[in-house]
Chains A and B, each alone.
Chain A
Amino acid sequence: MSDLRDLYQEVILDHNKRPRNFRILPQSTHKADGVNPLCGDRISVYLDVEDGVIKDIAFQGAGCAISSASASLMTEALKGKPVAEVEHLFEAFHNVVTTDCECPRGLGKLSVLAGVRDYPSRVKCATLAWHAVRAALERHTEPVATE
């Protein structure tokens, strides 16, 4: 079971049980859904972006421990960050969950998901929320100004 503990680290189990920023953002400027076709899991992410900075971020939905914890950790990591940094962070995170690279510093708690690299069928779970954020930001690169 020790190797399972590498995947299901305490931090992941904790974020799965008590996901952070787990709510709807009524005043969000950006929103998108992420669907994992493998299992039918669906999450929604909400962002409130002001002057190119993610002022607030939240998510909702049901998923496995990996996708829920990853979404929860992601919201913590992205809150307060400039939108321009999302792509960069996602790339670093993606590397961590798919390759044997050294975890780059600056990823912080996100690196607890590194265990996913040994479970190729679970990579999609770990990246689901990130794909949703990316879709949200791409679809409305210009915040909806009149609202």
Chain B
Amino acid sequence: MNAMSALPALSTLPPTRSAGLDLVRIRAEFPILRQKIHGKPLVYLDNAASVQKPKAVIDAIGECYSGYYANIHRGVHLLSERSTAAYEGAREKVRAFLNAASVQEIIFTRNTTESINLVASSFGGSVVKAGDEIVITGMEHHSNIVPWQLLCERTGAVLKVAPFTDAGELILEEYERLLDSGRVKLAAFVHLSNALGTINPVKLMIELAHARGVPVLVDGAQAVPHLAVDMQALDCDFYAFSSHKIYGPSGVGVLYGKQALLEAMPPYQGGGDMIRLVTFEKTEYADLPNKFEAGTPSIAEVIGLGAALDWLTAIGLDAVAAHEHELLEYTTTQLQEIPGLNIMGMARDKAALAAFTLQGVHPHDIGTILDREGVAIRAGHHCAQPVMQRYGVPATARASFAVYNTRDEVDALVKSLWKVKELFE
């Protein structure tokens, strides 16, 4: 707000400034946002599915391929050395971003899904036995449900689900009660729900689990682009996220794991890069993090993720969160003025995401009509079918925001929703 004093000629803040961010400048960094869709300016509100990329990221990938690309870790030539340095440099950027204690705790995977599967397979496979329990919540993405179901099928363990309220808040007493059974081997839960926007009290949830000796995996796929996270402060055992949701390229995920746990775990996949010595009798595995990175990784994309974290850090997650919070408040009040519109998920601690239904109109139809107005939203079950079942709806429409979204775009969303009503009434 102190930007006001620098702009004495203006009586109100221009809509393109918010929470001290220069949105005109930020938007200019996203080439894709300049286009029209069906003749209308693109209003991209499907950021929870995947977010668009700033030029800094696109350029970092281009520079890698046109300047110094080679395979990493094994080459003695200069390009391989440079690629290795850039790849390992990105690992350090991830470590710093998460405030992890060591780069050995940062494993590159393909996406959040693979990070969770790695833990389910390697940690779960070696620790979980018949009769043990895994605790999750009712608001998980399928990628934090199915790997545990598969593990339970393999081992005879049981999946326990902590419920949430109508407002979309986890019922902590129920979560605690599930932890109390004495048979729980892992708690795995979402930091920020992609279907509801709920931000879970993860610090407290981790403490409650640790108090009973239960290790914790946090699915941070939606959280990291919106909230600052600190592994040492949170003290979680595993944390998973995807590059493509945090302004980086697709094809890269991160698994943070505490060093002692990762060291005790067996490898996930076998192959090149994860070994120290191979004979046909026995293989010695490489040290962390390479033990969990079999085969040639997405080199340029990992470097791109590093550029994305630099870019986001330069803007500052606190400013991002403040701007997005304003957008959420504005969106919520605007949407609530539309008769028959029902927002699903009204947690007190909530991120800039609105999932909703509109009486008499299926979300799929909303999505198609909004698309013709240039407004990209998601319609469907958002890979969280149990959440849909919880509310008794087949699907919802979801508008989800990123740092580059503006109040004008919220207005475009609301205006096109009125058109939906007009068409269907």
Q: Which of A's residues lie within 8 Å of B, judged by CB?
A: 1, 3-5, 7-8, 13, 17, 38-42, 62-66, 68, 119, 121-122, 125
Contacts and interface: CB of A to CB of B under 8 A. Distances in A.
A10 B388 CA distance: 30
B379 A65 contact: no
Interface of B: 360-365, 368-369, 372, 379-381, 385, 388, 394-395, 419, 423-424
A124 to B, nearest CB: 10
A113 to B, nearest CB: 14
Contacts of B395: 39-41
Contacts of B372: 1, 3-4
Contacts of A125: 364
B110 to A, nearest CB: 22
Nearest to B360: A17
Contacts of A119: 368
Contacts of A65: 361-362, 365, 424
17 contacts: A13-B423, A39-B363, A40-B380, A40-B385, A40-B388, A40-B394, A40-B395, A41-B364, A41-B394, A63-B362, A63-B394, A64-B362, A65-B361, A65-B362, A66-B365, A68-B362, A119-B368
- Of A1, A64, A68, chain B has the most CB atoms within 10 Å of the CB of A64
Contacts of A42: 394
- Of B361, B365, B385, B395, chain A has the most CB atoms within 10 Å of the CB of B365
Contacts of B360: 17
B391 to A, nearest CB: 13
Contacts of B388: 40
A4 B394 contact: no
Nearest to B380: A39
Contacts of B424: 8, 13, 65
Contacts, number: 57
- Of A39, A121, A122, chain B has the most CB atoms within 10 Å of the CB of A39
A3 B373 CA distance: 11
A39 B364 contact: yes
A106 to B, nearest CB: 28
B408 to A, nearest CB: 20
A121 B364 CA distance: 10
A39 B379 contact: yes
Contacts of A122: 364, 368
B369 A62 contact: no
Nearest to A121: B368
A121 B371 CA distance: 12
Nearest to A38: B380
- Of B362, B372, B380, B385, chain A has the most CB atoms within 10 Å of the CB of B362
A1 B423 contact: yes
The 9 closest A-B pairs by CB, nearest first: A64-B362, A64-B364, A40-B381, A39-B380, A65-B365, A39-B395, A64-B365, A40-B394, A39-B364
B415 to A, nearest CB: 12
A39 B424 CA distance: 20
Given A38-B380, A64-B364, A66-B365, A1 B419 contact: yes
Given A38-B380, A40-B380, A4 B369 contact: yes
A63 B379 CA distance: 12
A15 B423 CA distance: 14
A36 to B, nearest CB: 9
A17 B363 CA distance: 15
B149 to A, nearest CB: 18
Contacts of B394: 39-42, 62-63
A13 B361 CA distance: 10
Nearest to A3: B372
A68 to B, nearest CB: 8
